[in-house]
Amino acid sequence: MVAASFPATLFLAGLALLATGLLTPESALELAARTVPILLFVLAMTVVTELADNAGLFRFITARLARLGTRSTLNAPPRGRIVFLWLLVVVLATVSTVFLSLDTTAVLVTPVVVSLARHARIHPLPFALTTVWLANTASLLLPVSNLTNLLAQRQLGLSPLGFAQLLWAPALVGVLVPVAFLFLIYRKDLRGRYREPALPPVADKRLLLLSAGTVALLLPALVSGVAVWIPASIAAVFLLVVFVVRQRSAIRWAMLPIQPLLLTMGLFLLVTALHDHGLGTALTRISGTGEDFLSLLQLAGLGALSANGVNNLPAYLALEPVADSPVRMAALLLGVNLGPLVTPWASLATLLWHSRMKSMGFNISWRGYVLAGLALAVVLVPLSVLALWLSAGLPG
């Protein structure tokens, strides 16, 4: 009850700041203009992915991938190799994160991947850690991949293509380095072969096809340059109508992300109020000012430390004013997107992932998680900054 009430309490505290004048109405209106469309996108995408999951889309895709892994061709790895199945999960988690957001990977991909590993009699931990790490580290390439990206895109005024052109090199590092770490850690568990799993039964084939078609059409719409909340809202309304006709019982209030939205709005209000009272000035002294490698690393490192200390959303908002150029904004995103790998509360995706793992009876050692995440973060963040610096052609 205490954990569940915290987001509501934080949101009410934010409203109290506005009511008492500690947060000025002008700042609140500016905040609303920036964040309401983004929060509407989050709401719509949650509805789309939850309904698609109810139709069995993610289970069907994952099972198909597993069966693909047991098919041997002249150009494919041998039949049923665990490492090949794991690489397919890497692709699924990356694509899901890039196009559907990190929270989709944490909430919907994690349980089906872990269930798949269990059914194939494979140790689930490498697959589970793959989804949570890539949910965070693969969230750099497109604005829709992460809420921080959407905020940064609006600030920079970049198209999805322009955003990808700015961040493609560190985004590639954000996928390859965690995958290399995971392989080194779990190479023994990834040896051997697995038994081909059965395809899950499809209760309503038409519903599955309509859900798959909706998601397939939505993906290019999200990178078309149209405000992302528009196609996401259209897709959500369409699927709601389809489910009202074919499976009304799947529509329930519980699928709406009320708690995450309240938490996000509360954090937004709190950090904006702090900026009204000089937070930006204080952070300028420790965040650096240049675009050389060390200055970018300083900003990214501060973002990573702040994200692990509180959460990546308030960390981004607090540091956004000091990211006063596209490259410095990119460096900040490296810190707050790739850095939250150490503490459980560093990103909402990690908390959602842990909740799903716990509901499946899987106990996570936070000590092991922290140590592994720390080892990855201290390598990943500098390498990603180096990739950004080199790709941007900046002076040393």
Number of neighbours of residue 163 by Cβ within 10 angstroms: 25
Instruction: Compute the distance between CA of residue 143 and CA of residue 253 in angstroms, rounded to an integer.
Output: 27
Structure-token pair, residue 248: 């009304």
Q: How far apart are CA 117 and CA 126, in angstroms?
A: 9
Residues 7-13 have a mean pLDDT of 87
- Three-state DSSP at 347 gives coil
- Per-residue model confidence as pLDDT tens digits over 320-378: 988 989 999 999 999 999 999 999 888 888 888 887 788 777 888 888 899 999 999 99
- Measured at the alpha carbon of residue 101, what is the angle toward residues 86 and 114, in degrees to the nearest 5? 35
**CA–CA separation, 347 and 337 (whole Å):** 9
User: What angle, 0 to 180 degrees and rounded to 10, lies between the N-to-C axes of helices 312-319 and 293-309?
Assistant: 140
DSSP of 128-185: HHHHHHHHHHT--SSGGG-HHHHHHHHHHT--HHHHHHHHHHHHHHHHHHHHHHHHHH
For residue 193, the 8-state DSSP code is B
Specify which of 21-30, 47-56, 231-240, 284-293 reaches the highest per-range mean pLDDT.
231-240
Residues in the chain: 396
Q: What is the pTM of this model?
A: 0.84
Whether the CB-CB separation of 316 and 149 falls below 8 Å is answered with no
* Residue 79 parent element (H or E): none
Write down the mean pLDDT value for the chain: 86
For the segment 19-77, what is each residue's pLDDT rounded down to a tens digit?
A: 998 888 898 898 888 888 888 988 898 899 889 988 988 888 877 777 766 654 444 44
Weakest-pLDDT range from 43-57, 118-132, 194-208: 194-208
Query: Which of 122, 162, 112, 120 is CA-nearest to residue 141?
Result: 162
Mean pLDDT of 115-128: 83
Region label for 278, one of left (φ > 0), alpha (ψ between -120 and 50) or beta (otherwise): left
Q: Yes or no: say if 315 and 344 are a contact pair by the CB < 8 Å rule.
A: no
Angle between helices 293-309 and 326-333 (to 10 degrees): 40
Distance (Å, whole) CA 16 – CA 22: 8
**CA quadruple 310, 8, 18, 151: dihedral sign:** positive
What 3-state class would DSSP assign to 364?
A: coil
Query: According to the model, what pLDDT value does residue 4 have?
Result: 52
User: Cα(324)–Cα(104) distance, rounded to whole angstroms?
Assistant: 30
Tell me the average pLDDT across 70-92.
Answer: 70
Taking the C-alpha atoms of residue 60 and residue 53, their distance in angstroms, rounded to an integer, is: 9
Vertex 313 angle, CA 308 and 316, to 5° = 90
| Helices H / strands E in the chain, number of each | 18, 0
- Tell me the two tokens of residue 47: 């509805």
Dihedral sign from CA coordinates of 309, 315, 165, 163: positive
Element (H, E) at 262: helix 258-276
Q: Phi-psi region for residue 75, left (φ > 0), alpha (ψ -120 to 50) or beta?
A: alpha
